[in-house]
Amino acid sequence: MSWTAELAERWPEMWPELWLGTLDTLYMVLWATVVTLLAGLPLGVLLVTTDRGGLTPAPAVRAVLGAIVNVGRSLPFIVLMVAVLSLTRLLTGTTLGPTAAIVPLSIGAIPFFARLVETSLREVDRGVIEAAHAMGARKITIVGRVLLPEALPGLIAGLVMTVVALISYSAMAGAIGGGGLGDIAIRQGYQRFDEYYLWATVILLVLIVQAAQSLGDLLIRRLSRR
């Protein structure tokens, strides 16, 4: 029997477990995205405004934030996950399951997203910021009505990259008991050597990434005015 035919035949039997795994993955990624957005966006804004020549220059603050972000960015996710286990337990009461996985996922993605936010905000025309100053705008107005709206397409592109990274992190989280498709791939595919489970999880992960990317691209196209 051919490989695809075999996969098709096994699919109904694997599906209930795969479906639950998909839901767990989406749950982790979604919540981690929300947390990352809420924390990473302000962090990215601060990285830009506290810089020399920024809206509120504060070299010391900027140096500390930059260092924290760099540490977060340079830790391999699998190491970070283990390193924050006690924080995870503190926040969620457990270190297993999709809810627990949200903690390391968010901590891993926040610095990543913050850097992407920083990059898109830096691309905003300085002349426009200056024009807003000349109109008598407050700094908070400049952030809210100039910086963020002008950088919006770039911010969304950054968010999509972050979501895609989170999907791949979530598969890793599965490896240490986070649940989701990664967990299935490890338990069924790796430990029991059932290659069809492995392929099925790969297909589902690819589909989820594709869906996220297409949705993001669509949004960016509609918002881009350049």
Partner 1 sequence: MIDAVGLRKVYRLKKREVVALDGVDLHVRQGEVFGVVGQSGAGKSTLLRCVNLLERPTAGTVRVDGDEVTALRGRRLREARRGIGMVHQHFALLSSRTVAGNVAFPLEIAGVGAAERRRRVAELLDLVGLSDKARAYPAQLSGGQKQRVGIARALAPRPKVLLSDEATSALDPATTTSILELLRELNRELGLTILLITHEMDVIKRICDSAAIMESGHFTESGRVLDLLATPGSRLARSLFPLPATEAPDTVALTYTHASDEPLMSELTRRFDVDVNVLGGAVEDVAGRSVGRLNVQVRGANRAAALDYLSGKGLLVEEVTAR
Contact residues for partner 1, defined by CB under 8 A: 125, 127-128, 130-138, 141, 145-146, 149-150, 152, 223, 225-226
Q: How far is CA 172 from CA 14, 127, 225, in A?
A: 21, 44, 38
Choose between 46 and 146: whose C-beta lies nearer to partner 1: 146
Provide, rounded to whole angstroms, the least separation between the CB of residue 36 and partner 1: 23
Q: Are 62 and 100 in contact (CB under 8 A)?
A: no
Least separation in angstroms between CB 127 and partner 1: 4
Q: How far is the CB of 134 from partner 1 (least distance, A)?
A: 4
Nearest residue to 28 via CA among 124, 161, 192, 170:
170
Query: What whole-number distance in Å separates Cα of residue 160 and Cα of residue 79?
Result: 24
User: Which CB atom, from 13 or from 125, has the smaller least distance to partner 1?
Assistant: 125
**For partner 1, the closer CB: 16 or 136:** 136
CA dist., res. 165 & res. 108, Å (int): 10
Nearer to partner 1, 56 or 94 (CB): 56
DSSP 178: -
Distance of alpha carbon 220 from alpha carbon 158, whole angstroms: 11
CB of 139 to partner 1, least distance (A): 10
